[in-house]
């Protein structure tokens, strides 16, 4: 049987790839949220509806359908009542931000937006609302983190490098999305 001289190098490469995500998290000062056995919990308070939710959305390496449905209901378009699937990666980003900032409860300004609501906000809200907003895909949220200055939340979001981070100082909230990394 021939000797596979490349095997040790492949093992070393695969081992390096396995720890690379953890190294990125440590280097940025943020814990990596995707530890397989770790249960992930988020707490929310909706500023427009007054609803509150504390949910364990990830357990034993799997997203939990029931809790995800609860999050989708809470993050619905509160103007129309329309619900939409929320990208679990968005929840993972919020989870990482909680860990990085030490906050506990996200105050929701805006979650999912129906196309009708997005169009209305574009007409009445000025130029701050994108025509093809990721809010309409369940991939964006506008939040505050109770007890954490929004400028600190913004800095932590940028350090994650996972998606878009918008800072609205006057309105005191941060936009987080799972699109390409960018800031405004």
Q: Is the pTM of this model over 0.75?
A: yes
How many CA atoms are closer than 13 Å to the CA of 10, on its beta-carbon side? Answer: 4
pLDDT of 35: 54
Name the packing angle between helices 88-101 and 150-160 (round to 10°).
Answer: 120
Three-state DSSP class for 48?
coil
Tell me what pLDDT residue 127 has. Answer: 57
How would you write the pLDDT of the chain (184 residues) with one tens digit per residue?
455 455 444 444 333 333 333 333 333 334 444 555 689 999 999 999 999 999 999 999 999 999 999 999 999 999 999 999 999 999 999 999 999 999 899 999 999 999 999 999 888 875 578 878 999 999 999 999 999 999 999 999 999 999 999 999 999 999 999 999 999 9
Q: Hey, what domains does the chain have and what are their CATH numbers?
A: 35-183 (3.30.1380)
Tokens matching residue 24 = 């990125």
**Residue-wise DSSP of 110-166:** E----HHHHHHHHHHSGGGS-TT-GGGGT-EEEEEETTB-HHHHHHHHHHHTSSEEE
Structure confidence at residue 37 (pLDDT)? 67
The per-residue b/e assignment along 108-119, b for 16 or more CB within 10 angstroms, e otherwise, is bbbbbbbeebbe
pLDDT value at residue 103: 85
Q: Tell me how far apart the alpha carbons of residues 72 and 122 are, in angstroms, rounded to a whole number.
A: 23
Both tokens assigned to 112: 């999912």
pLDDT at 126: 59
Contact status, residue 138 vs residue 146, Cβ threshold 8 Å: no
């Amino acid at each position: 049987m021939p000797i596979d001289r490349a095997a040790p190098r492949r093992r070393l490469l695969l081992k390096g790839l396995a720890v690379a995500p953890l190294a990125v998290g440590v280097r940025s000062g943020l814990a990596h949220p995707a530890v397989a056995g770790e249960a992930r919990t988020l707490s929310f308070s909706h500023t427009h509806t007054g609803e509150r939710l504390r949910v364990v959305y990830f357990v034993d390496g799997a997203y939990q359908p029931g809790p995800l449905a609860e999050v989708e209901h809470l993050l619905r378009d509160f103007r129309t009542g329309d619900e939409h699937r929320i990208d679990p990666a968005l929840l993972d980003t919020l989870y990482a931000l909680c860990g990085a900032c030490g906050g506990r409860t996200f105050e929701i300004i805006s979650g999912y937006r129906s196309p009708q609501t997005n169009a209305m906000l574009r007409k009445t809200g000025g130029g701050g609302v994108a025509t093809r907003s990721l809010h309409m895909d369940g991939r964006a949220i506008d939040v505050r983190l109770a007890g954490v200055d929004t400028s600190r939340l913004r800095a932590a979001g940028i350090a994650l490098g996972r998606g878009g981070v918008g800072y609205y100082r006057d309105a005191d909230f941060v936009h987080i999305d799972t699109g390409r990394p960018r800031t405004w």
